[in-house]
Structure 1
Amino acid sequence: MKILHRLLVIGKSTSKSAIPFGPFNFATQTRWMKPANTAQTRLENRTRDLKLDRLTANRRRLNLILNLHRLVSTRKRGPFVAIQSLSKLAPQAGIKTLPAGAFIRKYPHIFEVFTHPAYHNRCFRFTQKFTALIREEEVMIAQLEQDSVTRIKNLLLMSVNGTLHLHSLRLIRDELGFPENFRESIIRKYNTDFKMVDLELVELAVKECERPSMVAEVEKWREKEYTERWLSEFEVKYLFPINFPTGFRKGAGFKDKLNNWQRMSYIKPYEKTNIVNVRSCGGVERYEKRAVGIIHELLSLTVEKMVRVERLAHFRKDLGIEVNIRELLLNHPGIFYISTKGDSQMVYLREAYDSQGCLIEPNRIYNVRRKLLEVILMGSRNTRGFNLEREVQEKETRIVKGNENKSSKVDGDFVIPILEKC
């Protein structure tokens, strides 16, 4: 009886099946399932980049405020909203975690609360500083109209059939730096460069023999590596810049696989040749490497070198990257990084960002958006840019006190790091 009791105790502690362990099934084999190796598990177990995750969280806060600004600015009564009715607009802008009143109090440099002169109720509007930055971004995008034309040409030259759906471009309009009405202000305006095949389909107006030859950004990087680092042409011809996050673990044989993949040839984004034969030797790997090159070039064309992962799926047929995009991005952590902060997944081009989460080569639109992000990160703090009058008065009082008592020490101005090291 003691032996049977011990067997039952051991069975209860080890077995998870509905049938308890006993003397009649002790010889039964237990099958252990292999751990799942899917895109979701690799996404959860990937090495995190805290700088890019923090940037994604801050960008999400900025997008919520910009959505609220679009809703408020289109109101017929004026660019202001009563605080009582803000609870109705907040869910439309995506604000669901905080009450509307707490959200306004959290950003006093963005929202200005006042009493309506006629109705005598509490309302809010956006500050002049914030609206001035938004207008500055719109003016900057209008000035860089030729850059938008070049980006559309590059995307059309990368496409399989030479056409693109406007719906796909509309989804990443902010990432590409296009104006809101880019269909009329760019595509129809430059009718010598673009031609509307359908209501939602655009192609190049010039003939195929007269189309310009574009050079991918990675090709420029390869030429720089070839001339400055004196690398051989065999090593540089199909090379991609690799920058793994801190703490990335490389398994056995990882370096050899990476070197073989870097030296493997592929059809480059702007090359128009026959379709890759997947059944040929290395056809699948070459097809995936071409997809990596296309996504790399697409991210290089964006303003901030990042885009939402789900919006890349709309370019699969037009650009010929009919693969599992998220799985492809996770297979190359040294080139791309997926951040899951917030309600969406953002993919970043790792080579474009430094160790502090800032663009290595910023552009003018990025600089304006960075100023908008600064206003978000200020929170409820009194800073140098928004309290100039108070600062002048404090300096005058300090000078007076210093003249009265020169022996007393006056502390210097405390400057808050706005971007927290970018």
Structure 2
Amino acid sequence: MLIKSHSISSYFHKLNPHFPSRVRVFPQLTSSISSLKVVWRKDTKLDQAIASDKTYKLCARVVKEVLNEPGQVIPLRYLEKRRKRLKLSTQIKTFLARNPGLFDLYRDRIKPKSEPVPFIRVSDRLQNFLEEEKRIYSENEPLIVAKLCKLLMMAKDRVLSADKLVHVKREFGFPNDFMVNLVPKYSEYFRLTGSPGEGKSFLELVSWKPEFAKSVIECRAEEESRLTGIRVRPNFNAKLPRGFFLKKEMREWLRDWMELDYISPYEDVSHLDQASKEMEKRTVAVFHELLSLSLFKRIPVPILGKFSEEYRFSNVFSTAFTRHSGIFYMSLKGGIKTAVLREAYKADELIDRDPLLEIKDRFVEMLKEGWRVRAEQLTLRRETVQRDMEMMAARSSESEWSESDE
């Protein structure tokens, strides 16, 4: 029986902080990890899941750019100069026309004596969304704190670079100001050292939180045990996509590897050999937990690579995503390698939804409202043009009849 991963907020309140440690006996695996090769296979459905977010992310980048400006306004021509960095393929005016409702266009002076030029500022509709965003962050603050604790608890020495965490805030759904406003608010959990932004600041875990030290997989096994009355051993859900086949040697290796006892990503593994199968089991557990904590249950591989030292990843850590193709998918969409958690998706639909995704849903609703208004305006213009053409044709026809009667 397979139980779907619960969103973090739901299983948090059911965690039992007291659970016994286990003595493990590992079977011997005959093949070395480095010698095992799996051919990468394209998954069009999961690639589509990534591609479908392209417009949303593009609009979010432009909004972020304007919000970071003093007064949240910017001259249109200044934003035009940043098109390449924003990865915009069209001119800013075209982007604004295609996505109405995000900004208002007005004229102002850059300098007191200069000529007025076009500026853009946050629209009332976008301002309403930003207020909704604050509400959602506030309601889910316990979840955000728990995610941050869990990220630190998996790390070596329970410490992570503050600047790296700021860089990945959008992957996990952290608010922009979490390091400034949220971290100091929870001094019983976190300690910030150094100066953020200079590359030498670190976030430390002040105290270990037993209630957070359970992975999604362990919680899933406990839930299944509760429902069935039979003790279920924690392990990964591995299901190869249709048409995907492995060579006999790889099938046998994976079978034996799956029989190894699950090693929680929150356990101390300093005694394990980096090249051992047991360490691979733990590394896959860390990948699984990190992807489970992420908003979209997927993270670009280069971002994961930034934390190689903190999470004890090997130099060739990315090969694990293809070696364990029943657990993960390595997408190459957009020219960027992205690790995707298979069990979180059904075809191209995300089924294991993070509560913080409500922010994205509200943003997309706002975009769709703007697109709907634009479509109505375009339809009205086409109908007006069509009526004008019909009237002109009718008048021309009347004129011809009048001339023929004469």
TM-score, with structure 2 as normaliser: 0.70
1:67-78 paired onto structure 2 within 5 Å: 67-76=61-70
Q: Is the 8 A contact 2:140 2:355 kept in 1?
A: no
Letter in 1 for 2:180: E
- Is the alpha carbon distance of 1:46 and 1:73 closer, same or farther for their aligned partners in structure 2, counting shifts above 3 Å? same
Q: Is the 8 A contact 1:49 1:246 kept in 2?
A: no
Query: Which residue of 272, 287, 293 corresponds with 1:301?
Result: 293
SS at match of 1:133: helix
Q: Is the 8 A contact 2:146 2:212 kept in 1?
A: no
Q: Is the 8 A contact 1:238 1:264 kept in 2?
A: no
Distance 1:183 1:111 in 2: 28
Q: Is the 8 A contact 1:47 1:247 kept in 2?
A: no
Q: What residue is the counterpart of 1:32 in the other structure?
A: none
* 1:90 corresponds to 2:83: yes
1:13-412 paired onto structure 2 within 5 Å: 42=39, 45-50=40-45, 52-76=46-70, 79=73, 81-82=75-76, 84-95=77-88, 97-108=89-100, 110=102, 114=105, 116=107, 124-125=120-121, 127-199=123-195, 200-206=201-207, 214-228=213-227, 236-252=232-248, 254-277=250-273, 284-358=276-350, 360-374=351-365, 380-382=371-373
Letter in 1 for 2:233: K
Distance 2:173 2:228 in 1: 34
SS at match of 2:321: helix
Q: Is the 8 A contact 2:36 2:250 kept in 1?
A: no
Structure 1: runs of 5 or more not aligned: 1-36, 391-422
Distance 1:239 1:211 in 2: 20
Q: Is the 8 A contact 2:100 2:374 kept in 1?
A: no
Distance 1:94 1:67 in 2: 9
Distance 1:325 1:277 in 2: 15
SS at match of 2:340: strand
Q: Is the 8 A contact 2:328 2:340 kept in 1?
A: yes
Q: Is the 8 A contact 1:58 1:373 kept in 2?
A: no
Q: Is the 8 A contact 1:336 1:348 kept in 2?
A: yes
SS at match of 1:241: coil
SS at match of 1:195: strand
SS at match of 1:179: coil
Distance 2:365 2:252 in 1: 43
Higher relative contact order (CA 8 A, sep 6+): 2
Fraction of identical pairs, as percent: 23
Q: What's the CA shift for 1:299?
A: 1.4
Letter in 2 for 1:223: E
Distance 1:222 1:214 in 2: 15
CA RMSD between the two structures:
3.4
Distance 1:276 1:251 in 2: 28
TM-score, with structure 1 as normaliser: 0.68
Q: Is the 8 A contact 1:266 1:287 kept in 2?
A: no
Q: What residue is the counterpart of 2:387 in the other structure?
A: none
Structure 2: runs of 5 or more not aligned: 1-34, 110-114, 196-200, 381-406
Distance 1:218 1:372 in 2: 31
Q: Is the 8 A contact 1:238 1:263 kept in 2?
A: no
SS at match of 2:309: helix
Distance 1:268 1:77 in 2: 47
SS at match of 1:316: coil
Q: Is the 8 A contact 1:299 1:307 kept in 2?
A: yes
Letter in 2 for 1:242: A
Distance 1:248 1:162 in 2: 39
Q: Is the 8 A contact 1:154 1:214 kept in 2?
A: yes
Q: Deviation digits for residues 168-225 of structure 1, max 9, x if unmatched?
A: 211211122222222221222211222234441222223x6x8656111111122334
Q: What residue is the counterpart of 2:31 in the other structure?
A: none
Distance 2:288 2:62 in 1: 32
SS at match of 1:338: strand
Q: What residue is the counterpart of 1:412 in the other structure?
A: none
Q: Is the 8 A contact 2:98 2:374 kept in 1?
A: no
Distance 2:151 2:305 in 1: 15
Q: Is the 8 A contact 1:72 1:81 kept in 2?
A: no
Q: Number of residue pairs matched?
A: 334
Letter in 2 for 1:90: R
Q: Deviation digits for residues 67-117 of structure 1, max 9, x if unmatched?
A: 2212223444753543x554213223222x3333433333335455x5638
Distance 1:316 1:262 in 2: 24
- Is the alpha carbon distance of 1:164 and 1:251 closer, same or farther for their aligned partners in structure 2, counting shifts above 3 Å? same
